[in-house]
Amino acid sequence: MKTTAFLGLTCLTVLLAAAPARADTLSDIKARHKLLVGIDLGLPPYGTVDAAMQPTGSDVEAARLLAADLGVELEIVPTTGANRIPFLQTHKIDAVMASFSITEARKKVIDFSVPYGVISIICAAPADVAVKDAKDLEGKTVAVTRGTGADADATRLAKADDKISLVRFDDDATLITALSSGQQDIMISAPAQLRDINKRASRPIEQKFVIRTNGYAVGLRKGDGDLQKAVNAWIEKDLADGKLRTSFKRWHEADLPADMPKE
């Protein structure tokens, strides 16, 4: 009986050791007095750097509002569409604020806050490229940024029509360069890219059609329930008092909808 009891205790100890510790990122943030937020600084107007090489943009402003609400400092960790989830899962950051659309695939590996902004995914190309809808993409090559919501949308279209080819770039800055230089003609991305491409392009591009419109939210680790509640409370408050709405309009020249999407 002593042996049985010992083995039972040993097995229990092993199981407890193997079980993941309960996430308590909010307490960690308070203890270090700093919020680590992953932001894509190559994605204006959501994230970019100004003439003094300081981070700016609508996601940067939103992150500052969140840090202020939590009563801590903000540290911005530059991310890309491809590494934002790995950075979150490996605890390099506490949260992602990078025009982060909520998708079913992402919800399997991370959690989200309620949306604090909205984003459209569009297809864009020069005026002389005849594209009115997805059917017109047959036989053409479409550029996307790897790991983004636009990548997921483009992949879905390409799976439905094997005559659509995709070329993926590792970040939005490289995508913008490819379009503005004429290396690529067609892209699926957010409308924000148009402004930066057309600043440099000798052959301007234009929106051809909208693929979808949805909310974007703060990305969080699975199990960070306390932080999720705190972030949701902040979003509800700063939408109601107008801070998030004012910031969004300043950067995007558009109003947030009165009734925000649930996801």
Mean pLDDT of 50-65: 97
Q: Is residue 228 a part of any domain in this protein?
A: yes
- If asked whether residues 77 and 204 sit together in one domain, one would say no
Mean pLDDT of 65-86: 96
Other beta carbons within 10 Å of 207? 12
Mean pLDDT of 72-90: 96
Determine the 3-state secondary structure of 258 from DSSP: coil
- If asked whether residues 111 and 190 sit together in one domain, one would say no
Q: Is residue 39 a part of any domain in this protein?
A: yes
- If asked whether residues 209 and 219 sit together in one domain, one would say no
- If asked whether residues 179 and 131 sit together in one domain, one would say yes
Which residue range forms the structural domain that includes residue 225? 22-118+214-252
The span from the CA of 87 to the CA of 79, in Å, is 8
Q: How far is CA 21 from the centre of its chain?
A: 26
The span from the CA of 179 to the CA of 189, in Å, is 11
Q: Is residue 126 a part of any domain in this protein?
A: yes
- If asked whether residues 231 and 247 sit together in one domain, one would say yes
- If asked whether residues 96 and 182 sit together in one domain, one would say no
Mean pLDDT of the chain: 90
Please tell me the total count of domains within the chain: 2
Q: Is residue 31 a part of any domain in this protein?
A: yes
What single-letter amino acid sits at 206? Answer: E
Phi, psi of 212 (to 5 degrees): -165, 165
Q: Is residue 12 a part of any domain in this protein?
A: no
Q: Is residue 10 a part of any domain in this protein?
A: no
User: Which CATH number characterizes residue 168's domain?
Assistant: 3.40.190.10
Q: Is residue 13 a part of any domain in this protein?
A: no
Element holding 246 (H helix, E strand): helix 243-252
Q: Which of 143, 155, 63 is nearest to 105 (CA)?
A: 155
- If asked whether residues 209 and 128 sit together in one domain, one would say yes
CA dihedral 156, 228, 261, 161 (to 10 degrees): 0
The span from the CA of 34 to the CA of 162, in Å, is 47
Other beta carbons within 10 Å of 240? 10
**CA dist list (Å): 116 to 46, 123, 184, 196:** 12, 24, 32, 23
Show the CA angle centred on residue 59, arms to residues 54 and 62, nearest 5°: 100
- If asked whether residues 76 and 108 sit together in one domain, one would say yes
Mean pLDDT of 217-221: 98
The span from the CA of 246 to the CA of 3, in Å, is 68
- If asked whether residues 69 and 114 sit together in one domain, one would say yes
User: 122-170, pLDDT tens digit by residue?
Assistant: 999 999 999 999 999 999 999 999 988 899 999 999 999 999 999 999 9
In this predicted structure, what is the pLDDT of residue 49?
Answer: 95
Question: Please, are residues 261 and 250 in contact by the beta-carbon 8 Å criterion?
Answer: no
pLDDT band at 241 (very low <50, low <70, confident <90, very high): very high
Cis check: omega of the bond before 45, within 30 degrees of 0: yes
User: Global pTM?
Assistant: 0.71
pLDDT band at 13 (very low <50, low <70, confident <90, very high): very low
- If asked whether residues 131 and 196 sit together in one domain, one would say yes
- If asked whether residues 58 and 182 sit together in one domain, one would say no
Q: Is residue 263 a part of any domain in this protein?
A: no
- If asked whether residues 85 and 189 sit together in one domain, one would say no
Res. 7: pLDDT tops 50: no
Question: Please, are residues 172 and 42 in contact by the beta-carbon 8 Å criterion?
Answer: yes
